[in-house]
Copies of this chain bind each other. A is one copy, B any other.
């Protein structure tokens, strides 16, 4: 089969790779019909992780089941399914509590596994024609009939829609509350979309890219252009000096100042300042336990000069980590089916699998208008 393979920093290639096979009776094989490039793929693409060369990338996957292991019960050949990016067993201490992003079985010795991801287990990615899905009864989300027309919406259920939603859950967004979201990348936009669905009062999205801020407004948010003056002051002004009730961090460890220089603590410390006392912060941008490639001395060992005193004095709360996709994907699927959610609004480019290198390059450079890339392995 054809697949997108990591070859080294900023070097991915579309190559022939062996077809996957059923390896365990609870596996299924899926023919991928849509697979996305995610912002976290760029961490690997840029060589800022310990990703092994030769591995297939891609953890935002949707397709059709073509074969099922003999222990699989609820999933059948022909089913149209979307796969959570987390590979999860369904029966460990974490999975049974719904913490599928921290499965203790799928990636022994660590908590959490994913397809085609550095440090997240041996699973191949889905930027390919076929994908092996373990623990299939637990990991496959069946899609309704309108998948044929809404496939670009449903594929967002694999990662960024639940991840953006997770940010709003961690931040305790509820009807009528105000929320500030740092980052108008795909996940930040999904957080804005989620906040709007939840009936948040005032939704404020901070970024500097005009194309992304325009999408934030399309999602019902107020665009805060950080290059137009201190974003914290803009937010305080919009909230009568109080700060937002809730805050979402959707940027991660590579956040930058206006000049494009990485300033690792910038977003987090601004977030603390722009959220009111007793407010909650949801942090879903990726942070690493160590980042040898960083310039910042603290960042190399994964530390952040965090404004802890202010955070504590304000009695704020913070929740973090990768989304437990299965905690949300059913309900979000139902909202798409009911035409009450349409996460595909962020898609800027629909490519073939062969165009993956072009997609990665442009998305990585944040070139204007490249907000989200979906690829269609079936179409050449």
Interface residues of A (CB under 8 A from B): 24-26, 69-71, 73-74, 89-94, 96-99, 101-102, 105, 111-112, 137-138, 165, 170, 174-178, 194, 197-199, 201-202, 253, 265, 268-269, 276-278, 283, 286-291, 298, 302-322, 326, 330-335, 338, 340
Contacts and interface: CB of A to CB of B under 8 A. Distances in A.
Given A198-B199, A277-B102, A302 B298 contact: no
A326 B334 CA distance: 27
Contact of A74 (B91, B194, B199, B335): B91
Contacts of A198: 175, 198-199
Contacts of A24: 71
Contact of A176 (B102, B291, B335): B335
Contact of A111 (B137, B265, B314, B335): B314
B94 A278 contact: yes
Contacts of A268: 308
Nearest to A317: B319
A103 to B, nearest CB: 10
A90 B138 contact: yes
Contact of A73 (B70, B89, B322, B340): B89
B320 A91 contact: no
30 contacts: A24-B71, A25-B25, A25-B70, A69-B71, A90-B137, A96-B326, A111-B314, A165-B175, A175-B198, A176-B333, A178-B334, A197-B199, A199-B199, A201-B334, A201-B338, A202-B334, A287-B309, A289-B313, A298-B305, A302-B309, A303-B306, A303-B309, A304-B305, A304-B306, A305-B306, A306-B306, A312-B321, A315-B321, A317-B317, A317-B320
Contacts of A74: 89, 91-92, 105
Nearest to A97: B98
Given A290-B309, A308-B304, A340-B201, A334 B137 contact: no
Copies in the complex: 4
A303 B303 contact: no
A312 B252 CA distance: 10
B335 A312 contact: no
Contacts of A71: 24-26, 69-71
A121 to B, nearest CB: 14
A96 B94 CA distance: 12
B335 A201 contact: yes
A309 B304 CA distance: 8
Given A175-B198, A303-B307, A305-B306, 19 more contacts: A74-B91, A74-B105, A89-B137, A90-B137, A91-B137, A91-B138, A93-B330, A111-B276, A175-B194, A176-B331, A176-B335, A198-B199, A201-B335, A290-B309, A306-B308, A315-B320, A316-B321, A317-B317, A317-B320
A287 B302 contact: no
Given A71-B71, A306-B306, A313 B288 contact: yes
A55 B309 CA distance: 25
A229 B313 CA distance: 32
7 tightest CB-CB pairs across the interface, nearest first? A315-B321, A176-B331, A302-B309, A71-B71, A287-B312, A111-B277, A304-B308
Contacts of A322: 315
A7 B175 CA distance: 41
